[in-house]
Amino acid sequence: MPSGIGQSTISRARRLRRGMSDGERKLWSELREFRRWYGVHVRRQAPIGPYVVDFVIHESGLVIEVDGEHHFTPSGLSRDRVRDDWLAAQGYKVLRFNTGELEASYNGCIEEILRELGLMRDTPTPNLSPQGEGGRG
């Protein structure tokens, strides 16, 4: 068993893997291909200390969370803040997407993850002419 992770956390992670939300399932269908496409290993419903995160890329210290409506209640927001602070203290950055964002701008969410991993630029690469940059003399 990994250090600092209790058996109840591991059991909870297993349960969560079996009961992923539609948004988590859709995102996982893309993230699980990151290893083949980019050499990036993504784990789903992974225990980190006392928490189970939706997705994590340990090598980059990136946690990706898909938030349903219960995250936007006062108690949900408070729990997430405590959890995010704890994860930050362990060296992780947390990206949060709500289910509405995933539905409205799925590709935008994927692009944000790729940017965070340094696999995508914020702006498109300019077209270069055969004469070199700018192409004007």
CATH topology of domain 7-116: Endonuclease; Chain A (3.40.960)
User: Can you give the pTM of this predicted structure?
Assistant: 0.72
Per-residue model confidence (pLDDT) at position 97: 92
Rg of the chain in Å (alpha carbons): 18
Q: How confident is the model at residue 120 (pLDDT cuts 50, 70, 90)?
A: confident
User: Which of 59-63, 116-120, 132-136 comes out lowest in average pLDDT?
Assistant: 132-136
Token pair in block for residue 124: 């498109």
The amino acid that residue 46 corresponds to is A
Which residues does 76 contact at the CB level (< 8 Å), separation at least 6?
Answer: 70
End-to-end CA distance of the chain: 64
Rounded to whole angstroms, the Cα distance separating 78 from 8 reads 23
CA 120, 84, 30, 44 torsion-angle sign: positive
Q: What is the mean pLDDT of the chain?
A: 79
Domain boundaries, the chain: 7-116
